[in-house]
């Protein structure tokens, strides 16, 4: 069966067209991304704006048309932090259903964690036993621990959602590029305080996996592999020293300079990418994690896995 899944985050709306089979086999066929910036201004206002809703409508209508061209029999939408945390969530859900005809499932934190973990670990079949996944979004950062391949929240050993994501942190502290030193210190302190409150049980001996998004883009940038190339197994490993070097470099650059590093990779994210890398570096440093393994899969793949495993044989 062919389905389409859409992950609506704070910065992006991500499409996956996949073949699924009973029992949980998922074969990606086509992927797209749109920079909708649904969470623009949400940290300050607590509401999704009318322009952001309009951008989301256009992206979803285009994705629905693409799904039809690919012969998808189902289109599943899962929305995360920016949709979950806002005061006008009911208005947003009604707007999407009315304007696009799509059901707009706003995922709970537990559901988002399970889907991100399932997607990230399913792309790495050699993983066994306990592992940790970091998913750096625009509005929040998810940290999840559990056995590789777990697909439901009840199987997870631990999850926390830090209220710091790349868009939120950039809007709050890093809205000037390059930011002044005191703004970098404030941003770092915000992440450190969120980590201290959550106290995630990360250890150096448990595999640490980065789910798509910021981590995948950083790995591509570090390896010099743009959007159409494949990362080798070695290139899909980010040592802490490399993450730290990129953090320092990015925080000294203007938005135009970040974009110029690789326009295809940085289009739509150049203004928030340094904040995302700062989050990754801070988590790895505080937790003592020596290396981050990169997974190309995330929430949208988790949505496909959930559908495949619930589909009757």
Which of these, 302, 310, 239, lies nearest to 18 by C-alpha position? Answer: 302
- Could you give the domains of the chain? 2-109 (3.30.420.40), 125-295 (3.30.420.150)
Taking a C-beta distance cutoff of 8 angstroms, is the pair 41, 35 a contact? no
What's the pLDDT tens digit per position in 182-194? 999 999 999 999 9
Identify the helix (H) or strand (E) that includes residue 16.
strand 13-21
The string over 175-186, giving b where at least 16 C-beta atoms fall within 10 Å of a residue's C-beta and e elsewhere, is eebbbeeebbee
SS3 50: helix
Q: Answer whether residue 232 shows pLDDT above 80.
A: yes
pLDDT of residue 205: 92
Percent of the chain with pLDDT over 70: 99
**What letter does residue 207 receive in the DSSP assignment?**
-
User: Average pLDDT of 209-228?
Assistant: 94
CB of 210 within 8 A of CB of 202?
A: no
84/68 Cα distance (integer angstroms): 28
Task: State the CB neighbour count (10 A cutoff) for residue 50.
Answer: 8
110 falls in which pLDDT band (50, 70, 90)? confident
| Helix ranges, 143-239 (H) | 166-172, 181-198, 213-223
């Amino acid at each position: 069966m062919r389905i389409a899944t859409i992950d609506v985050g704070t910065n992006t709306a991500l499409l996956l067209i996949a073949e699924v089979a009973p029992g949980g086999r998922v074969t990606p066929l086509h992927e797209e991304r749109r920079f909708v910036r649904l969470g623009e201004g949400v940290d300050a206002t607590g509401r999704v704006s009318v322009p952001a809703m309009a951008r989301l409508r256009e992206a979803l209508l285009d994705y629905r048309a693409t799904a039809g061209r690919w012969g998808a029999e189902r289109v599943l939408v899962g929305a995360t932090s920016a949709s979950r945390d806002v005061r006008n969530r009911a208005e947003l859900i009604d707007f999407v259903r009315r304007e696009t005809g799509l059901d707009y499932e706003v995922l709970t934190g537990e559901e988002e964690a399970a889907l991100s973990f399932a997607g990230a670990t399913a792309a790495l079949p050699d993983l066994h036993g306990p592992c940790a996944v970091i998913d750096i979004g625009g509005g929040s950062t998810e940290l999840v621990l559990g056995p590789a391949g777990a697909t439901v929240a009840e199987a997870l050993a631990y999850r926390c959602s830090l209220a710091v994501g790349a868009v939120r942190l950039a809007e709050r502290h890093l809205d000037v590029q390059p930011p002044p030193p005191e703004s970098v210190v404030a941003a770092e302190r915000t992440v450190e305080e969120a980590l201290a409150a959550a106290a995630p049980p990360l250890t150096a001996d448990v595999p640490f996996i980065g789910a798509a998004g910021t981590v995948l883009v950083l790995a591509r940038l570090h390896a010099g592999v743009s959007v159409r190339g494949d990362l080798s197994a070695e290139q899909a490993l980010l040592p802490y020293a490399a993450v730290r070097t990129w953090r320092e470099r990015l925080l000294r650059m203007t938005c135009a300079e970040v974009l110029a590093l690789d326009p295809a990779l940085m289009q739509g994210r150049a203004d928030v990418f340094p904040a995302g890398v700062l989050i990754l570096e801070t988590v790895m440093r505080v937790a003592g994690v020596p290396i981050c393994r990169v997974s190309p899969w995330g929430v949208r793949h988790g949505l496909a896995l959930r559908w495949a495993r619930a589909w009757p044989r």
